[in-house]
Structure formats: structure tokens, C-alpha cells
């Protein structure tokens, strides 16, 4: 069984790798004349609901937007299960 210290070290490596990749991507956008700003969002999370029935399953939790109108690679900011300012994206 992996120790807590080993798990922490592995997670730190993953975070460090992701941060480096984000910086490289940001620098690439900036070098191409685009205005880019990356911010860490500690008060947010990601929930991925996937599959052909995902819009139908999620719809009862979204009262003010018809999820079938969300086209590929678009998003909407709406309330989800009473939580305001949730971004829902159709990307797969």
C-alpha cells in the first residue's frame, strides 16, 4: 500500500507538470498576440457527465436552459441544482 507521503509527492509532481504545461500554453498564446490570463480557481470543481444520455440526465437539474440547444464545443453559464454560475459545456 502506498504511503501518504508517497501519494503527496506523486500528486505534487502531477500538479507541477500541469502548471508547467499551462504556462507553456499561455506563453504560446501570448507570443501569437493573444491576451491570456490564467487564474487558479480553488473554489471551483469539475464534474464530468459523459455519454449520449447526459443532457437528458442533467436537464432536471437545470431549469432555465434547454440542454438540447447546447451544440458541440459551446457552453452556457446557468444554475445547476440551485447552484448559481455553473458552466455547462458540451465537448464530447
**pLDDT tens, residue by residue, 44-53:** 788 888 888 9
With 0.75 as the threshold, say if the pTM is over it: no
CA 89 to each of CA 25, 47, 74: distance values in angstroms, whole numbers, following the listed order: 21, 11, 6
Q: How far apart are CA 55 and CA 33, in angstroms?
A: 36
- Cα distance between the two ends of the chain: 35
List the chain domain ranges.
1-40, 44-92
**pLDDT tens, residue by residue, 15-62:** 677 778 878 888 888 888 888 877 777 887 888 888 889 999 999 999
- Would you call 60 exposed, middle or buried from its count of C-beta atoms within 10 A (0-12, 13-18, 19+)? exposed
Place of cell 432555465: 64
Amino acid at each position: 500500500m502506498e504511503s501518504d507521503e508517497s501519494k503527496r509527492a506523486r500528486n505534487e509532481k502531477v500538479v507541477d507538470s500541469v502548471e508547467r504545461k499551462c504556462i507553456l500554453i499561455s506563453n504560446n498564446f501570448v507570443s501569437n498576440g493573444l491576451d491570456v490570463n490564467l487564474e487558479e480557481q480553488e473554489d471551483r470543481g469539475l464534474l464530468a457527465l459523459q455519454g449520449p444520455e447526459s443532457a437528458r440526465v442533467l436537464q432536471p437539474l437545470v431549469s432555465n436552459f434547454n440542454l438540447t440547444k447546447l451544440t458541440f464545443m459551446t457552453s452556457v453559464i446557468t444554475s445547476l441544482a440551485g447552484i448559481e454560475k455553473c458552466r455547462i459545456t458540451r465537448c464530447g
